[in-house]
């Protein structure tokens, strides 16, 4: 008797005709996530505040990968906008199979004491409320479908090791607890929810900061390189794939062996 199943591993990464929505999908890690799923056959919704960049991403995906791509201007900090985006995805593609809550704002601050409630609203509004808004909107469809997968995001700062990111780190910690709790509620409907926690990754969001501090930042990574958007996108695709069929309510750190973690 063989213990391996008859499904080849490559088939478990086949997302042909599945419907994947990615928030903040027009830049950096989110864009790599959109392209990775499209390359595996998925139809993709690119939900981003930047409509022009989302439309450019959608056009590139349709041309390069031949799958369908829908660009929707979405501010995930608004529940109404999140719900409209999820409904539009279901209208367009017939289902919502994977939701990737990638949008997040990592404003660095020299001092929490000097930050303001407006700063907190902005950061938490996108990073944590954005995750809750889109998750809530998607789950009603996924429960009806009796299937679905949600990937939320943390960052190494969720462990409280970066005083320059107090509010963002708090929002990422909230994403972890939220994901683990809700995963336990919806598992009986065949829905899986996990967290990807990226280490420092080279994207437009980190470009200026890395230009100044990149060499110092690199010292914290055992594998002696910074992350690339594809590193994170591959982990997201793994968690959404059938290869991760028995993984839920977990955090996967993709951080090159961050030594302060």
For residue 200, state whether it binds ligand NAD (rule: CB under 6 A): yes
For residue 206, state whether it binds ligand NAD (rule: CB under 6 A): yes
Is the separation of the CB atoms in 56 and 64 below 8 Å? no
Minimum distance from residue 203 beta carbon to ligand NAD (Å): 3
Give the C-alpha distances (Å, rounded to integers) separating 79 from 45, 84, 134, 173, 230. 17, 9, 7, 21, 29
Buried b (16+ CB within 10 A) or exposed e, 201-212: bbbebbeeebee
Alpha helix (H) ranges present in 76-116?
A: 79-93
In angstroms, the CA 92 to CA 151 distance is: 21
Residue with Cβ nearer ligand NAD (30 or 170): 30
Residue with tokens 């944590």: 128
In angstroms, the CA 37 to CA 49 distance is: 21
Stretch that binds ligand NAD, among 12-20, 184-192, 198-206, 241-249 (CB under 6 A): 198-206
For residue 166, state whether it binds ligand NAD (rule: CB under 6 A): no
Minimum distance from residue 198 beta carbon to ligand NAD (Å): 4
Minimum distance from residue 4 beta carbon to ligand NAD (Å): 34
Among 77, 135, 194, 220, binds ligand NAD (CB under 6 A): 77
∠ at Cα 190 (187, 193), nearest 5°? Answer: 55
For residue 155, state whether it binds ligand NAD (rule: CB under 6 A): yes
Stretch that binds ligand NAD, among 36-44, 97-105, 215-223, 246-254 (CB under 6 A): 97-105
For residue 104, state whether it binds ligand NAD (rule: CB under 6 A): yes
Per annotation, catalytic residue among 128, 153, 168, 258: 168
Is 213 marked active-site? no
Minimum distance from residue 26 beta carbon to ligand NAD (Å): 4
Alpha-carbon torsion (247, 251, 256, 260), positive or negative: negative
DSSP labels for 154-181? Answer: --GGGGS--TT-HHHHHHHHHHHHHHHH
Among 18, 35, 48, 97, binds ligand NAD (CB under 6 A): 48
Is the separation of the CB atoms in 134 and 74 below 8 Å? no
Stretch that binds ligand NAD, among 5-13, 74-82, 141-149, 238-246 (CB under 6 A): 74-82
Residue 5 — φ and ψ, nearest 5°? -80, 170
Minimum distance from residue 11 beta carbon to ligand NAD (Å): 29
> Residues interacting with ligand NAD, by CB under 6 A?
23-24, 26-30, 48-50, 53, 74-77, 102-104, 106, 126, 130, 153, 155, 198, 200-201, 203-206
């Amino acid at each position: 008797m063989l213990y391996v199943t008859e499904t080849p591993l490559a088939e478990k990464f086949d997302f042909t005709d599945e419907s994947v929505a990615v928030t903040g999908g027009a830049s950096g890690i989110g864009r790599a996530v959109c392209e990775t799923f499209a390359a595996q056959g998925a139809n993709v919704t690119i939900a981003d505040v930047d409509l022009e960049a989302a439309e450019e991403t959608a056009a590139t995906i349709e041309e390069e990968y031949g799958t369908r791509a829908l660009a929707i201007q979405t501010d995930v900090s608004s529940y109404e906008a999140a719900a409209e985006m999820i409904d539009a995805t279901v209208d367009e593609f017939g289902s919502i199979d994977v939701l990737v809550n990638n949008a997040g704002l990592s404003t660095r601050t020299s001092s929490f004491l000097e930050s303001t409630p407006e700063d907190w609203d902005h950061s938490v509004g996108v990073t944590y409320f954005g995750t809750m808004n889109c998750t809530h909107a998607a789950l009603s469809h996924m429960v009806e479908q009796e299937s679905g997968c949600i990937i939320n995001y943390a960052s190494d700062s969720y462990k409280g090791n970066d005083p320059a990111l107090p509010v963002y780190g708090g929002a990422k910690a909230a994403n972890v607890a939220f994901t683990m709790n809700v995963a336990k509620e919806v598992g009986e409907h065949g829905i899986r929810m996990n967290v990807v926690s990226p280490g420092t990754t080279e994207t437009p969001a980190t470009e200026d900061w890395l230009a100044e501090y990149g060499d110092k930042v690199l010292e914290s990574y055992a594998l002696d390189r910074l992350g690339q958007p594809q590193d994170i996108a591959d982990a997201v695709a793994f968690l959404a794939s059938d290869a991760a069929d028995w993984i839920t309510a977990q955090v996967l750190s993709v951080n090159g062996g961050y030594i302060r973690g």
